[in-house]
């Protein structure tokens, strides 16, 4: 990695970034309850001169700067996770059972510094819309904000967001056109058999046996239905059935997720899964119900704007920008990118030498705060470039 090029981050800027991040980390809030987080965000934006809208999706905050011309939406998600933090740090979560275990505290901090920088040198050629979104973690916050008008009567010309990524060392950046993160579907299957005595199985339809065959059979969807060049995942994360050792269970309840990067595969998945469920249950004489819920589609970057972002990132971190990383994790930034051409990028945040490499959604998750000025620099330069007179 070449030496990072910057406008020179002042000690005061870095201190503010880390201060905001740690304050947010100490006081994490779950989706749709981000009251203190929203207050902090709104106060900083208002002081910087932004026109503020609050209350979208309950706790969302939008700040608008400038008018006319081109417009850029910069999005940061605010919610934490229902995880008990075990890190021994002085900014450890003070909210029992709630933790910023995915880097959203860093996302908010980077966006706030970007907002201040842009307000200090406002463009005459367009406007920036800072969107601080609640409830990203599977709760549909982006879609709800859009339904309540965050894009306005005239949607922005482009959108950008950054996700800190502990799968990469601090300073590495992933910018790639096309699918970056997967769709997220959730399903629940209830199998209904006929219970009975564990020693007299011929009188029963064993829901546990049916469920066991179903879990195995469903793996054939990826291995035999999906194009091998189109990544997909079918995961069963929960199976509950029976309570007593000598009673054959009458009902089994299974929950899981389906992930895809390709739109055609995404569309085909519900029918594929139901065909397997129906076939296995028919084989054993069981009945079933299937509840299949779409959370969000794949996060897909538009090629032209992503090319602009890559040029900017190369100016910040050097030419070694990566385009070889995709993940089957999902992000509801996809809701914005379905409607507005844009780019979502991954910013390396791990530092194994300092013990900062735990995976996202882990009770030991933490990241190297040296990534934060890099992210703020990228967002600021992209805004200045996109809204500049020559673009």
Question: Could you list the active site residues?
Answer: 79, 136
3-state secondary structure 107-122: HHHHHHHHHHHHHHCC
């Amino acid at each position: 990695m070449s030496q990072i090029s910057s406008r020179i981050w002042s000690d005061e800027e870095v201190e503010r970034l880390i201060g905001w991040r740690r304050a947010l980390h100490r006081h994490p809030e779950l989706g749709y309850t981000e009251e203190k987080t929203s207050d902090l965000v709104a106060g900083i934006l208002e002081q910087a001169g932004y026109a503020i809208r609050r209350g979208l999706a309950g706790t969302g905050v939008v700040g608008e700067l400038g008018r006319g011309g081109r417009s850029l939406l910069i999005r940061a998600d605010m919610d934490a996770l229902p995880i008990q933090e075990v890190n021994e740090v002085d900014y450890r979560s003070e909210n029992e059972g709630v933790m910023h275990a995915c880097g959203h505290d860093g996302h908010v901090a980077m966006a706030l510094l970007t907002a201040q920088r842009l307000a200090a040198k406002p463009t005459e050629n367009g406007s920036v819309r800072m969107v601080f979104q609640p409830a990203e973690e599977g709760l549909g916050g982006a879609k709800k904000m859009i339904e309540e008008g965050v894009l306005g009567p005239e949607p922005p010309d482009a959108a950008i967001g950054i996700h800190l990524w502990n799968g990469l060392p601090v300073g590495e950046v992933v910018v790639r056109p096309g699918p970056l993160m997967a769709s997220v579907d959730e399903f629940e299957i209830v199998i209904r058999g006929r219970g009975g005595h564990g020693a007299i199985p011929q009188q029963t339809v064993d829901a546990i046996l049916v469920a066991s065959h179903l879990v195995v059979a469903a793996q054939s969807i990826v291995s035999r239905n999906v194009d091998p060049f189109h990544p997909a995942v079918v995961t069963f994360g929960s199976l509950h059935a029976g309570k007593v050792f000598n009673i054959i269970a009458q009902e089994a309840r299974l929950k899981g997720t389906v992930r895809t990067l390709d739109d055609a595969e995404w569309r085909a998945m519900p029918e594929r899964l139901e065909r397997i469920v129906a076939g296995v249950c028919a084989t054993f004489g069981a009945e079933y119900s299937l509840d299949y819920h779409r959370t969000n589609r794949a996060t897909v970057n538009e090629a032209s704007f992503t090319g602009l972002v890559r040029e900017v990132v190369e100016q910040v971190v050097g030419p070694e920008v990566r385009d070889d990383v995709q993940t089957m994790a999902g992000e509801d930034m996809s809701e914005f990118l379905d409607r507005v051409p844009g780019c979502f990028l991954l910013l390396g945040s791990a530092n194994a030498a300092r013990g900062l490499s735990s995976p996202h959604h882990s009770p030991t998750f933490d990241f190297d705060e040296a990534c934060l000025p890099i992210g703020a620099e990228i967002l600021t330069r992209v805004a200045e470039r996109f809204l500049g007179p020559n673009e």
